[in-house]
Structure 1
Amino acid sequence: MPFFSVVIPTYNRARLLEAALDSVFAQEERDFEVLVVDDGSTDDTLERLGRLGDRVRVLKQRNAGPGVARNLGIQEARGEYVAFLDSDDLWFPWTLATYRQVLQEAETSVVMGASVRFSRLQSLVELAREPLHVLRFADYLASAGDRTPRTACVLAVRTEALRRVGGFTSQRISGEDYDLLYRLGTEPGFAWVRAPVVVGYRLQPGSESTGLEANYRGTVYQLEQERQGRYPGGAARRHERLDLLLYSLRHVSRWLLSQRREDLALDLFLRGLPLHFEVPRWRYVLGFPPWALATTLRQRVLGR
């Protein structure tokens, strides 16, 4: 049984997928298998994968979205841990070795790493490998008090834990990785790797504008999951869950406003208002409405 199962969902990204796979094959850590889940691609993805022989296990499905594709990979994984990589992103040679070191130092169910954004490959080549710096928590919910921005797409998770919580949602939303983390919230042992950076996150043209409604839907979905009691920890851990959920909501609402989606930003504000009273977060509750009004007026006056 390999230590890692590397799961890569892909859809019509044949050229970028090859670069992602090259970064996996360049790993210092060698105890892994690679599963690429083709989500109904119509380009030459399958033809290119066929040239790799047994270096990659290729799984195929009709187009159903990345969450369903990742779940197929989880279902077929043979490794003790599943490490996720998006098909347009890149790993550094030390990525899996870093994960393994962290996992073997203490009992850990979930590892989350740090990423760096890039549009030019040269910027990644110039990035130095920093000494290991990791924060450890009893579980993911216990990390709620840390306000450092999170990169939830950078995950390695114990396979049995993923299967126990049902993997990713099948909904086509952004933030499905955060939803997974909330459902993994009480699994024992969460490690947050602050350094070295382990993933290069590729900036795609138009990625911000096209993700607006998906981020909105993802935030609404997470609030509904909390309302229905779908996240673990019960009443005793509710404050931690709300800390995490509302931190994300505040970020998304401000981003939506900056992108001139006042309608979605206001809707999120109103949906989260009762929960912000419960926490409470008075600075956001009292400050968002006038800030939203001023931002909207400024955008209209300046025409942007």
Structure 2
Amino acid sequence: MPFFSIVIPTYNRARLLGETLESVFVQEFSDYEVLVVDDGSTDDTREVLARYGERVRVLRQENQGQGVARNLGIQHAAGSYVVFLDSDDLWFPWTLGTWRQAIDMYGGPSVVMGTPATFQRPGELARVRREPLRAHAFADYFASADETFARTACVIAVKTEALRRVGGFTSRRIISEDHDLLYRLGTAPGFVWVEAPLVMGYRQHGGSSSRQLEQGYEGLCYHLEQEELGRYPGGESRRRERLTLILHGVRHVSRWLVEHGRQDLALDLYRRSLRGHFVVPRWRYMLGFPPWMVASSLRQFRR
């Protein structure tokens, strides 16, 4: 049984998928399996994957979105931990070894999260240097709520049994399905954030389409709805921590929506989140967001 199962969902990224896989096959830690889930690609993805032969287990499904694709990978994973990698991102040679070091050092936490470096062209990652391990341990994910660091499923290793226990990712086509998963894993024992070394190159793509904006809005509405329905673990005693995490996303996405001309969605998200913001509380956002939105909208109108 491999220690890591690497799950790579992909959809029409034949041009980038090979680069991603090559960054896996140069890993210094070699006890892993690679599962690529082809989410109904119509480009040359099959031909690219065929070049890797038995080094890659290929799973295929009709196009159903990244969450469902990742779940198919989880279902077939044989490793003790599942690690997720998007098919346009890149790893450093020390990535898996760093996760294994953190897992051993902290006694097998349920979730280990790394820190990404952003890039647009692969050559930009040449500046990233390997550093000694610098990590921070918490009782569980919710206990890290007051810490400020990038949180995404692109840089996590999770115990396979913990993933299966919470049912994996939502099948909803929302941008923030990874945060929803982390909230459902919120009380699983042991969470470690690896501050250094950087473990992944996160590829930035230009622009935000109308559908991406709507999916971002829908994702945060979904988080707020799940919290209201009591679907996230921890009960009343962990409510402040859950809201701290969810509302951080609300503030980020509502500003993003305004900056891209979707004041209607931003205002609705603001309205939906007000009750939670009174609990945390975040007075600066509650009092400052409406006038900031108006001023920002006026600046956009004058351009």
- Map of 1:171 onto structure 2: 172
Q: Using the alignment, how far apart are the partners of 1:287 and 1:207 within structure 2?
A: 25
Per the TM alignment, residue 210 of structure 1 is displaced from its structure 2 partner at its CA by 5.3
Where 2:83 maps in the other structure, the secondary structure is strand
Q: Using the alignment, how far apart are the partners of 1:273 and 1:8 within structure 2?
A: 37
1:20 aligns with 2:24: no
1:163-207 deviations in Å (ceiling 9; x for gaps): 000000000000110000000000000001111111111122335
Letter in 2 for 1:20: T
- Map of 2:235 onto structure 1: 234
Q: Using the alignment, how far apart are the partners of 1:160 and 1:150 within structure 2?
A: 21
- Map of 2:223 onto structure 1: 222
Q: Using the alignment, how far apart are the partners of 1:53 and 1:67 within structure 2?
A: 25
Letter in 1 for 2:113: M
- Map of 2:68 onto structure 1: 68
Per the TM alignment, residue 147 of structure 1 is displaced from its structure 2 partner at its CA by 2.7
- Map of 1:182 onto structure 2: 183
Q: Which moved more, 1:6-15 or 1:121-130?
A: 121-130
Q: Which moved more, 1:258-267 or 1:43-52?
A: 43-52
Q: Using the alignment, how far apart are the partners of 1:208 and 1:135 within structure 2?
A: 36
Q: Using the alignment, how far apart are the partners of 1:209 and 1:27 within structure 2?
A: 38
* Percent identity between the two aligned chains: 65
Where 1:284 maps in the other structure, the secondary structure is helix
- Map of 1:137 onto structure 2: 138
Per the TM alignment, residue 101 of structure 1 is displaced from its structure 2 partner at its CA by 0.3
Q: Does the aligned pair in 2 maintain the 1:115–1:151 contact within 8 Å? A: no
> What TM-score, normalized by structure 2, do the two folds share?
0.97
Q: Using the alignment, how far apart are the partners of 2:58 and 2:153 within structure 1?
A: 25
- Map of 2:203 onto structure 1: 202
- Map of 2:2 onto structure 1: 2
- Map of 1:252 onto structure 2: 253
Q: Are residues 64 and 199 of structure 1, via their aligned partners in 2, closer, same or farther at CA, if it must alter by over 3 Å?
A: same
Letter in 1 for 2:223: Q
Per the TM alignment, residue 68 of structure 1 is displaced from its structure 2 partner at its CA by 0.4
1:293 aligns with 2:294: yes
- Map of 1:48 onto structure 2: 48
- Map of 1:105 onto structure 2: 105
- Map of 2:39 onto structure 1: 39
- Map of 1:157 onto structure 2: 158
- Map of 1:120 onto structure 2: 121
- Map of 2:30 onto structure 1: 30
1:273 aligns with 2:274: yes
Q: Using the alignment, how far apart are the partners of 1:152 and 1:114 within structure 2?
A: 11
- Map of 2:95 onto structure 1: 95
Q: Does the aligned pair in 1 maintain the 2:67–2:177 contact within 8 Å? A: yes
Stretches of structure 2 lacking an aligned partner (at least 5 in a row): none
Q: Using the alignment, how far apart are the partners of 1:134 and 1:12 within structure 2?
A: 35
Q: Does the aligned pair in 1 maintain the 2:258–2:293 contact within 8 Å? A: yes
1:125-173 deviations in Å (ceiling 9; x for gaps): 2311122111110000000111334344211100000000000000000
Q: Does the aligned pair in 2 maintain the 1:183–1:232 contact within 8 Å? A: yes
When the two chains are superposed, the root-mean-square deviation of aligned CA atoms in Å is 1.2
Letter in 1 for 2:79: G
Where 2:154 maps in the other structure, the secondary structure is coil
Q: Which moved more, 1:163-172 or 1:285-294?
A: 285-294
Q: Are residues 208 and 91 of structure 1, via their aligned partners in 2, closer, same or farther at CA, if it must alter by over 3 Å?
A: farther
- Map of 2:80 onto structure 1: 80
Q: Does the aligned pair in 2 maintain the 1:113–1:151 contact within 8 Å? A: no
Q: Does the aligned pair in 2 maintain the 1:13–1:45 contact within 8 Å? A: yes
Q: Using the alignment, how far apart are the partners of 1:30 and 1:103 within structure 2?
A: 16
Query: Structure 1 residue runs of 4+, over 4 Å off?
Result: 207-210
Q: Using the alignment, how far apart are the partners of 1:66 and 1:206 within structure 2?
A: 20
Q: Using the alignment, how far apart are the partners of 2:151 and 2:24 within structure 1?
A: 23
Q: Which moved more, 1:148-157 or 1:210-219?
A: 148-157
Q: Are residues 152 and 69 of structure 1, via their aligned partners in 2, closer, same or farther at CA, if it must alter by over 3 Å?
A: closer
Where 1:211 maps in the other structure, the secondary structure is helix
Per the TM alignment, residue 208 of structure 1 is displaced from its structure 2 partner at its CA by 6.6
Stretches of structure 1 lacking an aligned partner (at least 5 in a row): none
